[in-house]
Structure 1
Amino acid sequence: MKCPGNPTEMCGGYFTMNVFETGLEKFVPHVPITVNQKQESVRIIFLLTLNGRAVRQVNRLINTLYRRNHYFYIHVDKRQDYLHRKLSILQTKFSNIKLAEKRFSSIWGGASLLKMLLTSMRDILTLDWEWDFVINLSESDFPIKSIEDLENFLSANKGLNFVKSHGREVQRFIKKQGLDKTFIECETHMWRVGDRKLPRGVVIDGGSDWIALSPKFVAYVAGEHDELLAGLDVIFQHTLLPAESFFHTVLRNSQFCNTYVDNNLHVTNWKRKLGCKCQYKHVVDWCGCSPNDFKTEDWPRIQNTKDRQLFFARKFEPIINQEVITRVEQFIGFEDHYLLQNLEAYWQSIYNIDDLTSSTDDLMLTHAASILRQNANILNQEGCLLEPDEVIEISLYNFADTYKGNLILHKAILDNGDNILLETWYKPKQILDFNFESRYVDIIKTFKVSSEYDQKEITFRNFANILGPLSEPNLLYQFSSDIDKKGENLTVLWLDPAGVIADVNHLHVDENNLTNFIKPNLKIPLLPGIWKVGLFENSEFIVFTRFLITPLELFSGKEISHHEATIIHSGSQSAYKNFSNINIVNFLPNENERLLLKKVSNSNIKRVNKDLREWIDNLTSSFYSVLGTCVASSSLNDVKLKPLCGNHKFEHCSSTGWSSLSPDPKGSIGKFNESTGRLVRV
């Protein structure tokens, strides 16, 4: 490393060791009391910093934490209009729940995250709340011990501050975190602009941004700045991951140093090989790590916390695995699961008409409209004549941790002019063709194209594979461990709707690379239509899949014009590399087929209005199946009978089990029980 006294020289070397002693005593964090014999009362503020659209999971978290003597201060990311709308009603119902009025658009590792926490703490100090600790949590956190256990522990340790240190040599931590670099947050990105020297005489510390702080310390960091805080404020405005170091550093260098407890009360599901693959390169000029979601196979990690001073775990995502959350509830004393309807079901909104950006979600609205026309055609065959109307909401539906499809809540107009509110359930078809004579046929587990690939959880976040000309598709492949341990060299071909090879990728598959993804080198816009992706050993076909690039009916929320369609639907074939040397029979079209495909493709580019909708509907019906439709409200409704439309009998959505309007007590805020001070879910 560079010598601290002379940066032009290097300290150390081959077989060289320098030992230095400062004369200062080693810092020893405060050891908290394990059990409180006095059983004093304690009041906690749960500072919920929320993002995303998992409102049902947030409700489930609040149900678990809620006690009449505790408080909830909720900050919803400024961009999350849906979540803020859904939660804003809580502060009108509960005097101990408040939503932050000043909201921030924070990013991973950004300076705005620390600014949001400090602003929230300043607001908390203005409220007429009496409290002993503030604990920050996200929608991905969940308690792993009862709130009574947490109360008992914290009541014995009032005045202490709980933070988790990095646990490694300081200089290594500074390098790893990039604390010796200057960063600037601009346009939702943390830009590294150069090196910097940290101030002498200040102990830099950090680790986790999940904390539990005392009122006196919060009043200090959020109040008027003394010389220490004024200096640290300048430093941490230009620091990557400032929330992971600021509170630790202030504690170590202030009069509160004797209140430092090296424990953030959390267990985190770190799987470094999966979570540390430069997760945040798109938002920060630095490689970042992220913990994994807990799944049922991670259950022993939670069980092993039983006798430790750990009260929360992260991360949990019901869209990935909900069963583990149900197990945690049982683990901490919940006994109402046998009474809950739809315990294994989970719904999450992916589109809502009231969202600020809903009117310009061209791909989602194009896709949904086509599904609804397909559904209307099915109902028309049963004598139920209706015209699809406005899309209200689109939700993802899981059952028993398996994706079951999407749900579209929408208006429709009957042939007599009456309005009806329906929800339609549909699901993408499985489109995969194998060469059953290939030796690979039994070892290929996954060969799928979609977008929004999550390396950490090894899944696509775009569950329904809704892709358009401006999407960025990825290919996910998984092989079983039976593959030849010496490794295999395979080839992937991407074929566009005009029969032209758009890209070629080469794979080396061995026991260390059984699961991975490929991002093809494709320029946008992509040519709309049916694409094919094939896997080959030399020229032998192994498997191929098809995926749909849906043409856009809308552009910026309005019906697409001839000029816009010509630009967006023309593709980017001029950017393809030359793959004329590749000729694989039974996958690539012959010359006559290629000429026909090109002619059809050129004709499709010019389609608009009704002609365009017919093309979209023909494509959509090949890739998606409608599974059912229920009625939410209409003039047809009879409380006792199923509404009749022609020869079709609609089920009421509330009684289907699959509808997003079905009862979901675990994902709804419970009723307040005056005698217990808790929320009851049944």
Structure 2
Amino acid sequence: PAKILFIIIVHGRDFRQFKRLLTAIYNKNHYYYIHTDKRSEYLCNKIRDFIDTRKERNIAVTSWNLEPMWGSSSFLDVLLRCMKDVLLLERFSEWKWDFYVNLSGSDYPIKKIDQFTAYLSLRKGKNFISSMSISTAEFVKRQGLNFLFYECDNRMWRIGKRSIPSHLHFYGGSDWIILSYQFCSYLVTSSDPFINDIILFYKYALLPAESFFHVVLRNSEFCGTIVYDNLRLINWKTNLSCHCQYRKIVDWCGCSPSNYRRSDISRIDTSKAVFFARKFEPLVNQEILNMIDELLLGKKLRQPNRYHYWQNLCHASEFIAGKCSRYKFYIESCMRLARSNMTSLLKKKIDRSLEFAELVLINQNDTFAGMLVSFLISTNLILEVWMKKRQLAWAMPLSKGAERLYDMQVGSNLDKKEQIFRNYGILSANDELTVFQRWRLGPKFHCNLTWVKPDGEIADHRFLAIESNWRFSYFKAEILKPVIPGRWKVYLSINNIIFSELQFILFPVDSRLIRGLQTSSALGNDYLAELPRLGEANSNVMYTSNRLNYDNIYSNKKWIDSLVSESWETYKFCVGVKDRDVNNASLKLIAGTGITNCEDSEWSSFIKDHKTEFRSNVVAID
């Protein structure tokens, strides 16, 4: 049977999904080499600890970490450096493999690994690549190969034009590849000057991994080994996948696949020679992964937490290092509120101050269900608090056209492709605010969009024309940052009659990040005369804008606690142990209080998650 070397390239914070992927593709006869983005320090540490603990001889982590970004030469650098490591380093001398397969953390198998192995076993020496069915000239133009790009300061800069070597056939497609051992060895050990020349050419190219391997294969002795198929499904939705979303990091307009969702299961056609699909993100939709596990991979998932998903947002070490400034005030307030609630429940004062441990997002049924904040309350005892977000919205579609609106959200960092906010329910005064609406189809109509500051002043106002074919819309607030923290409002109105209003909290930002506080108003606040209801100052405001002292807000803990209390509910508690090997006598503290053990609470991040539990000696989860 063929032996496969999997190069797994991950970033972000999704450690659970990494374990789920590794479990799904694991076989003791294959090899797994893992690279974590240098910027993903939390994930890197979790994976290293995990691999060190497992001590599997066929799993290794790179001793180096690069910062690959979309379209950059650094992504090709990762692929080639991993290739060199496993071919040249002494510690990999026992790894004997036939195929090199690169995967990302958002890939997932749609057939069993044994089927993939059997397929490749009949095709040793072949190289599997996906290519575009277009002419060389069109490909060069589309990929920008006739331009020089240079990677610097986490951006690909277009710095000029260049000529294309006329003696080479340029073409390409996907950067997800399956390469033979023989071809990889040629790339790494060959003295052919063509290899050095083409590597230098692609060092200054955009999206180099999408054509580097294709060009070398086509213009070398390995031309006859090409199979024009990379054996993968990719979820392209052209109406959503191409929003030029990488403009901030590259001087080019590119596209990115969408995440698969539950409704896409019928589109995953396993009748063809495809073994992996992308992209998957359990934070967006976990049920599609559950369905693949059960329907395609033959696994059985246990019910208690099948529909739960957890993802870390901030770890204690990051909090101490000041790397969680977005969540700083929220976490500290939750700590004070938890201490107060625990004192009430235990009917005794907690002697020591709480020590922050972790902030975790929880989803239920692929819907945001709140935050789990955990604290050390003794040397080995951890308190976990489930904070649920309160609904601060109302709608009254009395005006003609207003009935088309069926959802309105406020957030920052809008992912236009997935149509979700990436701020996860916590907004700061330094965020770029965006309002996102979903519409039913219907006649075109006009309305007003208004942002209101905590002191009742209009911060931004605009006139909207909602087209008949719109299903969603989004509008950024044109407000200078940072703005006044507190309870804000955004609403839609027709003829001065509000038909949808949403209130939201802006938390202060770390005072070390402040460069002066802006108190912008929209057009001198002229709209207050038209909308007298908005002239009433919000009772939540402590200071009016002309007397605002940011340092006072920064230090006023009671005021911040009131913001958290009115927008978040302290829903449930549980207590668990930090180290299971230590005597658990400390759990007696909660006896008779109604507080549960975290390991018995299906919502807790401490409960065993069978979906993502790595097992190297079984195929199915039972």
Fold match (TM-score > 0.5): yes
**C-alpha separation in 2, matches of 1:519 and 1:79:** 28
Partner of 2:284: 320
- 1:528 is matched by which residue type in structure 2? P
**C-alpha separation in 2, matches of 1:596 and 1:655:** 39
Cα-to-partner distance string for 1:437-496 (whole Å, 9 max, x where unaligned): 3345543221111112110111112222x1112211211111122x32xx1222211111
- 2:607 is matched by which residue type in structure 1? S
Q: Is the 8 A contact 1:340 1:665 kept in 2?
A: no
Partner of 1:531: 488
Cα-to-partner distance string for 1:616-659 (whole Å, 9 max, x where unaligned): 11111111111111101399x99799745597332110000000
Partner of 1:161: 127
Among residues 584, 607, 622, which one is paired with 1:662 in the alignment?
Answer: 607
Among residues 573, 584, 604, which one is paired with 1:629 in the alignment?
Answer: 573
Matching of residue 463 in structure 1 with residue 424 in structure 2: yes
Matching of residue 395 in structure 1 with residue 395 in structure 2: no
Partner of 2:469: 512
**C-alpha separation in 2, matches of 1:634 and 1:106:** 35
Matching of residue 95 in structure 1 with residue 57 in structure 2: yes
The offset of 1:64, in angstroms, is: 1.0
**C-alpha separation in 2, matches of 1:624 and 1:498:** 21
Partner of 2:410: 449
Q: Is the 8 A contact 1:352 1:358 kept in 2?
A: no
Matching of residue 360 in structure 1 with residue 323 in structure 2: yes
Aligned CA distance change for structure 1 residues 71 and 606 (closer, same or farther; 3 Å): closer
Aligned CA distance change for structure 1 residues 411 and 608 (closer, same or farther; 3 Å): farther
Q: Is the 8 A contact 1:488 1:510 kept in 2?
A: yes
Q: Is the 8 A contact 1:178 1:240 kept in 2?
A: yes
Match of 1:533, SS state, is strand
**C-alpha separation in 2, matches of 1:222 and 1:311:** 27
Moved more, 110-119 or 432-441: 432-441
Partner of 1:423: 384
**C-alpha separation in 1, matches of 2:336 and 2:402:** 37
**C-alpha separation in 1, matches of 2:287 and 2:177:** 27
Match of 1:354, SS state, is helix
The offset of 1:310, in angstroms, is: 0.8
Among residues 135, 140, 148, which one is paired with 2:114 in the alignment?
Answer: 148
Matching of residue 105 in structure 1 with residue 67 in structure 2: yes
Matching of residue 619 in structure 1 with residue 563 in structure 2: yes
What is the identity percentage for the equivalent residue pairs of Structure 1 and Structure 2? Answer: 32
**C-alpha separation in 2, matches of 1:596 and 1:348:** 32
Matching of residue 309 in structure 1 with residue 256 in structure 2: no
Partner of 1:650: 595
Which structure 2 segments of 5+ residues have no match?
A: none
**C-alpha separation in 2, matches of 1:440 and 1:358:** 50
Match of 1:52, SS state, is coil
Cα-to-partner distance string for 1:43-78 (whole Å, 9 max, x where unaligned): 001110111111111111111111110000101111
- 1:103 is matched by which residue type in structure 2? N
Aligned CA distance change for structure 1 residues 611 and 154 (closer, same or farther; 3 Å): closer
Match of 2:100, SS state, is strand
- 1:107 is matched by which residue type in structure 2? M
**C-alpha separation in 2, matches of 1:202 and 1:646:** 75
Aligned CA distance change for structure 1 residues 250 and 366 (closer, same or farther; 3 Å): same
The offset of 1:341, in angstroms, is: 4.6
Aligned CA distance change for structure 1 residues 262 and 596 (closer, same or farther; 3 Å): closer
Among residues 344, 350, 360, which one is paired with 2:307 in the alignment?
Answer: 344
Cα-to-partner distance string for 1:578-625 (whole Å, 9 max, x where unaligned): 4525633254206xx599969544555255499511111111111111
Among residues 508, 512, 518, which one is paired with 1:571 in the alignment?
Answer: 518
TM-score by length of 1: 0.84
Aligned CA distance change for structure 1 residues 647 and 461 (closer, same or farther; 3 Å): same
Match of 1:666, SS state, is coil
- 1:186 is matched by which residue type in structure 2? C
Q: Is the 8 A contact 1:362 1:555 kept in 2?
A: no
**C-alpha separation in 2, matches of 1:421 and 1:665:** 22
- 1:428 is matched by which residue type in structure 2? K
**C-alpha separation in 2, matches of 1:220 and 1:476:** 51
The offset of 1:335, in angstroms, is: 3.4
**C-alpha separation in 2, matches of 1:631 and 1:70:** 40
Aligned CA distance change for structure 1 residues 152 and 656 (closer, same or farther; 3 Å): same
**C-alpha separation in 2, matches of 1:640 and 1:613:** 34
Partner of 2:32: 72
TM-score by length of 2: 0.92
Match of 1:359, SS state, is coil
Among residues 344, 350, 375, which one is paired with 1:381 in the alignment?
Answer: 344
Q: Is the 8 A contact 2:490 2:503 kept in 1?
A: yes
Show the 5 A alignment for 1:89-238: 89-91=50-52, 93-126=55-88, 127-128=92-93, 129-238=95-204
**C-alpha separation in 2, matches of 1:55 and 1:76:** 11
Partner of 1:495: 452
Which structure 1 segments of 5+ residues have no match?
A: 1-40, 557-563
- 1:625 is matched by which residue type in structure 2? E
**C-alpha separation in 1, matches of 2:556 and 2:153:** 37
The offset of 1:501, in angstroms, is: 1.8
Match of 1:632, SS state, is strand
Aligned CA distance change for structure 1 residues 146 and 511 (closer, same or farther; 3 Å): farther
- 2:327 is matched by which residue type in structure 1? M
**C-alpha separation in 2, matches of 1:610 and 1:164:** 54
**Number of residue equivalences:** 612
